[in-house]
């Protein structure tokens, strides 16, 4: 394990004067807290003896049925018996890695990929081979090349880890025609597929894309209520093939005995009693406004030579800066200028990404986003100015000093 390179960032960036475009904290301001307060009180008063007691390692049957209904929106037909409730989908990802990988095994992931996934792969000493994306997501021909090349070395990767919808951090969505193609390539090379889909219901056009799992029952599917309801409850899940299910339940038992009963029952009540799909729509409308604010600000303020995607859902814009600018080296100067971002190298296992950075529009208000991008543009201009004068950007320490503690700072891995 190596220290997360964006850990320090979050401690500094959590100062109120800094506009943080770094974290992936969902915007839960629109949650109906008064109604939820009534719900939790009733849960404790009426079902407290169950909610405050141990439960089963696999999770509550009622919630697993509701999870199947949620997944049906993406075309998935699943048996609640094959669902394992986890403490956030991060736990599902971590345990799936534990089950599939021995040290030295290879995992295929998009480049860039989710930093929390790279953390779990590193924890189990799996080696990551990245495959590039374009504006339509993972490129099938490049996936095939990578698998061919690994096969020539006698290596079969344990799985492809992919985020098909509103990718973190790249913001792109896997084109629907590519989905079957990618499944076919993986099947041909005997590679399992792990589909991580925390943002699937957060599309700005209202489109819900068919899950890879809806096309292939052997796909391992990871889901989460962190973005559709509340991240602080830490309720996620894995849908796995029956052959994997018992091993996953055993691993989950070893990891936490059982997920918190209370949190599962609250999610169940929320899904049953509240119009949760309208709530997701409310969330999504706020995210779209924020995306629009970010795109407008990028267009208006960024210097020439920067490129970025236009995300159609989710939380993130992936920005490429002009050649010669090192986003990791620039970060302390950005934070000094009161704007924070996640530098690109954290999203690669192989040191790539120094010209990239991730901007999150999920949490700050549109006004703050605009101001943050304005500040970022000024930092970039200054960087380019130094380059034009001296031919190289000024060299400062690559990262701020590691703080002893980051109280209340969101985890650097927050999706």
The footprint of a copy of itself on residues 176-215 (CB under 8 A) is none
CB of 219 to a copy of itself, least distance (A): 22
The stretch among 157-165, 180-188, 377-385, 404-412 that binds a copy of itself (CB under 8 A) is 404-412
The residue among 40 and 180 lying less far from a copy of itself, judged by its C-beta, is: 40
What is the distance between the alpha carbons of residues 171 and 9, in angstroms, rounded to a whole number? 21
Footprint on residues 86-125 left by a copy of itself (CB under 8 A): 87-88, 90-91, 94, 98, 116, 119-120, 122-123
199, 313 Cβ separation under 8 angstroms: yes
What is the distance between the alpha carbons of residues 346 and 352, in angstroms, rounded to a whole number? 9
Footprint on residues 261-320 left by a copy of itself (CB under 8 A): 261-263
The verdict on 139 binding a copy of itself (CB under 8 A) reads no
The secondary structure of residue 81, as a DSSP letter, is G
Which residue in 253, 350, 367, 385 binds a copy of itself (CB under 8 A)?
Answer: 253
What is the distance between the alpha carbons of residues 69 and 336, in angstroms, rounded to a whole number? 47
The residue among 66 and 263 lying less far from a copy of itself, judged by its C-beta, is: 263
Which residue in 76, 96, 251, 334 binds a copy of itself (CB under 8 A)?
Answer: 251
What is the distance between the alpha carbons of residues 355 and 320, in angstroms, rounded to a whole number? 6
The residue among 47 and 292 lying less far from a copy of itself, judged by its C-beta, is: 47
CB of 89 to a copy of itself, least distance (A): 9
The verdict on 365 binding a copy of itself (CB under 8 A) reads no
* Alpha carbon distances (Å) from 388 to 127, 143, 323, 324, 354: 39, 39, 12, 10, 19
The residue among 179 and 290 lying less far from a copy of itself, judged by its C-beta, is: 290
The verdict on 414 binding a copy of itself (CB under 8 A) reads yes
CB of 378 to a copy of itself, least distance (A): 29
167, 196 Cβ separation under 8 angstroms: no
CB of 166 to a copy of itself, least distance (A): 18
The stretch among 126-134, 158-166, 324-332, 405-413 that binds a copy of itself (CB under 8 A) is 405-413
For 129, list phi and psi in degrees, rounded to 5: -110, 120
Which residue in 156, 207, 256, 392 binds a copy of itself (CB under 8 A)?
Answer: 256
The stretch among 163-171, 246-254, 305-313, 314-322 that binds a copy of itself (CB under 8 A) is 246-254
The residue among 89 and 173 lying less far from a copy of itself, judged by its C-beta, is: 89
The residue among 186 and 342 lying less far from a copy of itself, judged by its C-beta, is: 342
106, 157 Cβ separation under 8 angstroms: yes
The residue among 119 and 344 lying less far from a copy of itself, judged by its C-beta, is: 119
What is the distance between the alpha carbons of residues 37 and 347, in angstroms, rounded to a whole number? 38
The residue among 29 and 310 lying less far from a copy of itself, judged by its C-beta, is: 29
The secondary structure of residue 345, as a DSSP letter, is G
Which neighbouring-strand residues pair with 307?
320
Could you tell me how many residues of this chain bind a copy of itself (CB under 8 A)?
A: 77
Footprint on residues 8-67 left by a copy of itself (CB under 8 A): 25-26, 28-29, 31, 33-34, 36-38, 40-45, 48-58, 60-61
The residue among 37 and 72 lying less far from a copy of itself, judged by its C-beta, is: 37
324, 390 Cβ separation under 8 angstroms: no
CB of 413 to a copy of itself, least distance (A): 5
The stretch among 83-91, 214-222, 271-279, 383-391 that binds a copy of itself (CB under 8 A) is 83-91
Buried/exposed code over 163-192 (b: 16+ C-beta within 10 A; e: otherwise): bbbbbbbbbbbbbeebbebbbebbeebebb
The secondary structure of residue 309, as a DSSP letter, is -
Which neighbouring-strand residues pair with 160?
108, 193
What DSSP assignment string belongs to 203-272? Answer: BTT---PPPGGGT-TT-EEEEESIIIIIGGG--EEEE--HHHHHHHHHHHHHHHSS--HHHHHHHHHHHH
């Amino acid at each position: 394990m190596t220290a997360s390179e964006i850990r320090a960032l979050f401690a500094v960036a959590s100062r109120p004067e800094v506009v943080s475009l770094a974290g992936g904290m969902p915007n839960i301001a629109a949650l109906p807290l008064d109604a939820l307060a009534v719900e939790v009180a009733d849960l404790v008063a009426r079902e407290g003896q169950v909610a405050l007691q141990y439960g089963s390692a696999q999770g509550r049957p009622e919630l697993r049925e509701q999870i199947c209904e949620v997944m049906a929106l993406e075309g998935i037909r699943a048996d609640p018996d094959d669902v394992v409730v986890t403490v956030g989908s991060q736990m599902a990802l971590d345990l799936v890695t534990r089950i599939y990988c021995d040290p030295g095994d290879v995992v295929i992931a998009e480049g860039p990929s989710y930093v929390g996934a790279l953390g779990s792969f590193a924890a189990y000493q799996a080696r990551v081979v990245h495959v590039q994306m374009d504006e339509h997501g993972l490129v099938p021909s490049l996936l095939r090349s990578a698998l061919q090349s690994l096969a020539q070395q006698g290596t079969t990767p344990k799985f492809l880890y992919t985020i098909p919808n509103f990718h973190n951090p790249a913001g792109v969505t896997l084109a629907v025609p590519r989905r079957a193609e990618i499944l076919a390539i993986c099947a041909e090379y005997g590679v399992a597929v792990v589909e991580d889909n925390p943002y699937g219901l957060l599309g700005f056009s209202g489109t819900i894309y068919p899950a890879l799992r809806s096309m292939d029952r052997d796909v391992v599917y990871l889901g989460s209520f962190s973005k559709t309801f509340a991240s602080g409850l830490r309720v996620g899940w894995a849908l796995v093939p029956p052959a994997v299910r018992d091993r996953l339940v055993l691993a989950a038992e070893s990891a936490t005995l059982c997920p918190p009963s209370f949190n599962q029952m609250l999610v169940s009540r929320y899904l049953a009693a509240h119009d949760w799909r309208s709530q997701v729509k409310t969330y999504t409308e706020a995210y779209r406004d924020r995306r629009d604010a970010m795109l407008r600000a990028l267009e208006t303020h960024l210097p020439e030579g920067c490129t970025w995607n236009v995300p159609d859902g989710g939380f993130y814009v992936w920005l490429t800066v002009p050649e010669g600018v090192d986003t990791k080296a620039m970060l302390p100067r950005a934070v000094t200028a009161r704007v924070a971002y996640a530098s690109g190298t954290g999203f690669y296992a192989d040191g790539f990404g120094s010209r990239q950075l991730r901007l999150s529009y999920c949490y700050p208000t549109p006004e703050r986003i605009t101001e943050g991008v304005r500040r970022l543009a000024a930092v970039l201009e200054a960087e380019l100015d130094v380059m034009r004068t001296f031919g190289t950007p000024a060299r400062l320490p690559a990262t701020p000093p590691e703080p002893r503690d980051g109280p209340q700072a969101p985890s650097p891995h927050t999706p």
